[in-house]
Amino acid sequence: MIELSSSFIAMAYVMVVAITVGAVAALLQKDLLRAAFISGAESIALAFFFQALLAPDLGLTQAIVGTVLLPGIIILGIFKTRRTEED
């Protein structure tokens, strides 16, 4: 039995900041491709947070799904439509 929660709380502090900043930054981009990539970065921070909350299976699933699959689907949609946000 290893006590991990004391070392995980430092990681949790960093990941709260990363999740919030990443979510705001993803929605503020004019370039939709960049927004998709930044949402993937936010998703990997969320995967680390799941790891800190002692749910490693969720961390693995979120890392794969949120970083590859979701931005991939969104990028597919961007290439079928248009890349920049019109004004």
Q: Does 78 bind other proteins (CB under 8 A)?
A: yes
- With H, G, I as helix, E, B as strand and everything else as coil, classify residue 84: strand
Amino acid (one-letter) located at 65: V
Output DSSP code: residue 83. S
Amino acid (one-letter) located at 21: V
Amino acid (one-letter) located at 1: M
Measured from the CB of residue 2, what is the shortest distance to other proteins in angstroms?
A: 8
Amino acid (one-letter) located at 20: T
Task: Give the C-alpha separation, 13 to 70, whole Å.
Answer: 25
Measured from the CB of residue 24, what is the shortest distance to other proteins in angstroms?
A: 6
Among 43, 44, 48, 67, binds other proteins (CB under 8 A): 43
Q: Binding residues for other proteins, per CB under 8 A?
A: 1, 3, 5, 8-9, 12-13, 15-16, 19-20, 23-24, 26-27, 32, 35-36, 39, 42-43, 46, 49-50, 52-58, 61-62, 65-66, 69-70, 73-74, 76-78, 80-82, 85-86
